[in-house]
Structure 1
Amino acid sequence: MNRKMSKWEVSLRVVGATSMVFLLSGSAFSLAYWLTKWFYTRHEVRFPEYIVQLVNWGLGILFIIVLFAIVNLVIRPKQREVWVEMIDALKRMAKGDFNVALDRDKKFHGQFGDVIQSINDMAHDLKQVELLRQEFISNVSHEIQSPLTSIRGFASTLQREDLSPEEQRHYLSIIEQETTRLSKISDNLLKLTTLESEQQQLDTKRYRLDAQLENIVLASEPQWLDKALELELELEEVEISASEEMLSQVWVNLFHNAIKFTPAKGSIKIVLERLGNEVKVKITDTGIGISSEDQLRIFERFYKGDKQRTRTADGSGLGLSIVHKIVELHHGNIRVDSRLNEGSSFEVTLPLT
C-alpha cells in the first residue's frame, strides 16, 4: 500500500523549502550589500540613498539567480540518478525480474518517495502473483501426472498375453477410473477459470433453498446409506434469489465431503435458517476433522490438507476453491470450524437477494 504523508511531514517539507529560499535570498542580498558598501568606501563614491538601495536590490536579485542556478546544477545530477534508478527498476520488472526494492529513505529520494513506494509495492504484488502462478502450474502438473502414470502402467500391463479375463477387467476398470479422474480435474479447472473471469454473470432466480437441499440429500442417499450414516435435517422454509445451478455445486461439494470424511455409523446434520436479510446453511459432521493449520489454507486451489484426509479419499483439491468462489460471487461468506477426530462444520451465509 502507498504510504501517504502525514500533515506533520507535509509541514516539515514546506518549512524546509521556505527556509532554503530565505537562506539563499538572505545570502544574496547580504553579499550585494557588503559588496556595494566595499565598492563605495574603496572609491569614495557618493550616491543618493535611493540609487544605493536600487543597486543593492538589483545585485541581490542577480546573486539569487546565480545561487539558485548553482544549487540546481548540484541537485540535478542526483535527480537524474533517481530517475535512472526508477526506470531501470521498471525495465527489470517488465522482463520478469520482480526482486526490486528501491530505497525510499535514500538521500535525494524524499521528493520521489510516493513514486518509489508505488514501484516497490507493484514489484511485491507481481512477485506474489508469479509465485502463485508457478505453484499453480506445479500443482496442475502433479495432479495430471499421477493418473497418466497409472494409465500408462496398466495399459502396458494389458499387453501381456498371460493375463486372465478377470485381471484384464480389473486393469481396465482402473484405467477407466483414472481417465474419469483426469476428466474431473479438467472440468474443475474450467469451472474455476470461468468463475474467476471478470465476465462471469450470475443467472439468478427465486427458488426454495430448503427444497434444493432436500433434493441433494435424497440424490446422495446411496452414498450415506452405504456407510450407515445418521442424517438430521433442520430446514426452515426459505426463498432465495441466487444462481440455483451454482449453489447446487456448493451444497453437493460440502455434503459429499461430509459423507467422504465421516466414518461408518457417524452422523451429519444440515441446518437452514433465516437471519434477517440473510440465510445461513450449516453442514456438520462427526468425521476425521481438520487441523487448525489446514483450516487456514483449505480454500486454496489444490490444497488437500493432512495425509489422513488424503488417504481417506481421492480428490484434486479444487472443490472447496470452487465453493469459496461461488459463495464470494453471491456476496456471501463461508467459514469452517473443525477439530481433529471430532468433526467439521461448514457454515455458509448468503444474502436473500
Structure 2
Amino acid sequence: MKNKLILSLLCSVSLANIVNAEMVEPVGLQYLQGQAGGGQQSGENIFMHNNIKHDKSINNNIKESISINNQLTPQQIEALQIQQQQYIDPQQIQISPEEIELMKKAIRHQNLKALQNKFFEKKRTGFENVLTIPYEENKTQSIRTRFAMNTTLIFDTKIKSYILGDPQGYKVQEIPNMPNALAITPSLIGIDTNLTIFTEDNKLHNFYIFSTDYKNRQNPNLIVYIKDEEAMLYEEELKRQKAEESKNYLLIQEGIAKVKIRKDEIKRKFKQKAKDENKWLLAEDIFRDNKWTYFKYPKDKMPKIPTIFAVIDKKDTPVETKIIGDYIIAETINPKFTIYIGDSYICVEDLNKKEEKLEKPQKNNYQFKSPNIIETKEIKGK
C-alpha cells in the first residue's frame, strides 16, 4: 500500500481522495459504531453531533452517502468500511531505504532522456572513457566514476589487498580470473571516497574517486590502466622463475597446498602385484624422490581413498601420508609397500637403485594372503 502511495506521489496524482477519506471516516465510523452497539441512534442523530455543526461540508458529504430516509444501505456501510481500511495518514508513513531506492528508479524511469550527451557527440572516437595513469610513488590519483556504470582498474601486477573508505557509497568487486583488476560501482550521485590498493610487488596505490550522473559534461573513466615499468619487470621475473621451476621441478598442487619435486631426483622403477580381483586397485603412477614416495590415484575413479602401509620386518606398518590433488604422498621411502581398500590390497616393490641405505629386496617368491584388518598386519612370504 505504501509503495502505491509513493508512486502516486511521484507521478503527481492528486491526494483529494485521501483527504476526502480523512474527512468522512470519523463520522461514518461513529454512525456504524452506534448501529453495531445496538443503540437507538438514527441517521438524524449524526447531524446533531457537536463536531458536525462546525463543518457544513462534512454534512454534505454524509448526506450524499446515505439514503433519503437518512438510513445507510448495506452497500454504503461496506463502502465506508473499505474506505476505512484504505485510509493512510501521510504523517505516519515511514519510508525505508528500499522504498527510497524505488522512488529513485521510478523518477528515473519517468525520464526516458536520461542519457549522457558526451556519448553521442559527432567527434566521439570511443577512447574517451579510457584513462592511462603512470605510477608515481605516494601520489593520489583522481578517478571520475558515474552512477549506473562501473569503472575497472587494471594493474600490471596482481592485487594483494585493498581498503575502501566508504563501503556504503561504493562497491568494489574482484574479477574472476583477473587477479590484477578491480571493478568500482558508485551507489549514489555526488559522493566521494578513497581507495587504497596493495599489489604483490609491495607497492601502494591511492585513489580519490567521485561519482557523477548523466548531466555531467565530462566523460567518466570506465577503464583505468595503471602502468608501472618496475611492475612489468617484476612480472617478467616471475614468469622466468616459473619457467625455470617447470623445467627443473615437477609441481603437485591443489589450492594453496603444493609440493615441488626436483626432476633429477625422480625414480619411477616400481613393481605392482595384485590378484585378478584386485587389479582395479593398481596405482596409475608411482615414483619417489630422495625423501617421499608418490602414488597417483585419480579421485574421480576411486570409490575410497586407499590406505598405504610400509612393509617393515615383514609387517605392514602405518606411515604418515597426505593427499594433494590425485596423489597420495607417503612421507617415507621404503623397499616395499602394501595398499589397501577394505579387504582388497596390492603389493608394491621399489626396484630403483638404492642411493639411500634401503633394505635389499628378497628374491624369494611372494605368496599373497589376505591379512587381518588390524593396525599392524603381517603378509606371509615377505
Is the TM value for this pair above 0.5?
no
Structure that is richer in helix per residue: 1
Pick the structure with greater CA Rg: 2
TM-score under structure 2 normalisation? Answer: 0.20
| Higher share of residues assigned strand | 2
